[in-house]
Amino acid sequence: MEFIAPCHFGLEAVLKKEILDLGYEISSVEDGRVTFSGDGNALSRANVFLRTAERVLIKAGSFRAETFEELFQGTRNIAWEEYIPEDGKFWVAKAASIKSRLFSPSDIQSIMKKAMVERLKTVYHKEWFAESGASFPVRVFLLKDEVVVGLDTTGESLHKRGYRKLTAKAPIAENLAAGLIMLTPWHKDRILVDPFCGSGTFPIEAAMMAANMAPGANRSFLAEDWTHIVPRKDWYRAMDEAESMIDRTVKPDIQGYDIDDKMVAVSRENARLAGVEDMIHFQRRSVEQLSHPKKYGFLITNPPYGERLEDKKALPELYRVLGGRYQALDSWSMYVISAYEQAEQYIGRKADKNRKIYNGMMRTYYYQFMGPKPPKRKTDKPIG
């Protein structure tokens, strides 16, 4: 089968590496999605193990359509009976169109649903479908009149790991936080501090990486009910593999600070639900109090952007303080995601790297301030 894994714009390279590390072949990398091939086991493993994907779709078909008639015929030509059983519940959950003649999502959705019904009527010799069985939501992308159709195997987006019951005012999605950490050289032996931790997403995702916890191990997926496509044993196998990989002995130095007592309590509860509460130290602390005695640490954070007008006035001082506290941290690296265009100006230093990343529809910048690499540890010489 061929699979499509959508992701945040700007994280395609990270997701590509994740898929290659799982052992699957990449077919293509496009803006906001990576296509790869594999079997039913690949489908279950991708859902359980991918940290940066939004979801995993089975690629049902692709064709060109400049008119609604071409869209109808192209959709009807897909072998839907190979995926959707007679009692299956099916609908076009989402349609996205860029630079295409067909651009109305609601029209695209209704025409494709009609075409699917027409196809399945001829196969199942029925005029009406009860749609009382398993769910088969369809997602469609149109780019320059090329239509790509996928069946959503995931259900609720993969960023919903199952641990974040409580959130901050402007939370960062778990899969975006994981991707941003993976864009840094941080690893579990290095210090990580988030001075604006909110509901704790950066520290929790880092702790899960340190302990090798699969992000999808504590949730369910739509395709678990698609036993005609993916045998149940493939899901059990993926979950068993995830369980066997966890390292509960790891003791990383991960810290999350927030000025709001309530957010510190929320972070602790989310960390407990994720099973990493013993790996993170959360504390009420303002950014003015940011300091650390150790060297070669990492600040990875999502400070306020000032979405509301009254908050905007406070931003120059907030970023100035952050820049000053960072300067005082000897040999540290800092990674800041922000939609605030003047972040570098007030931090007081130009970023060594700046990456454009879309947080939903919001364009943000990932400012990367690189500290020096720590000296290599002396190791025993090999014998012989």
Strands, E, within the chain: which ranges?
A: 2-6, 25-30, 33-37, 57-64, 89-98, 135-143, 146-152, 192-194, 254-258, 280-284, 298-301, 333-338, 353-359, 362-369
Tokens of 355: 């990456």
Mean pLDDT of the 322-339 span: 95
pLDDT (0 to 100) of residue 294: 92
Q: What are phi and psi of 214, to 5 degrees?
A: -70, 135
Q: How confident is the model at residue 135 (pLDDT cuts 50, 70, 90)?
A: very high
Mean pLDDT of the 32-37 span: 96
Q: How confident is the model at residue 368 (pLDDT cuts 50, 70, 90)?
A: very high
Q: Which candidate, 119, 123, 107, places its Cα nearest to that of 77?
A: 119
Residue listed under structure tokens 């060594």: 352
- 370 class by beta-carbon count within 10 Å (0-12 exposed, 13-18 middle, 19+ buried): middle
For the cut 60, the answer to whether the pLDDT of residue 27 exceeds it is yes
Q: Which candidate, 143, 114, 167, places its Cα nearest to that of 33?
A: 143
pLDDT (0 to 100) of residue 384: 45
pLDDT (0 to 100) of residue 170: 67
Q: Tell me: the pLDDT tens digits for 147-174?
A: 999 999 999 999 999 898 777 666 799 9
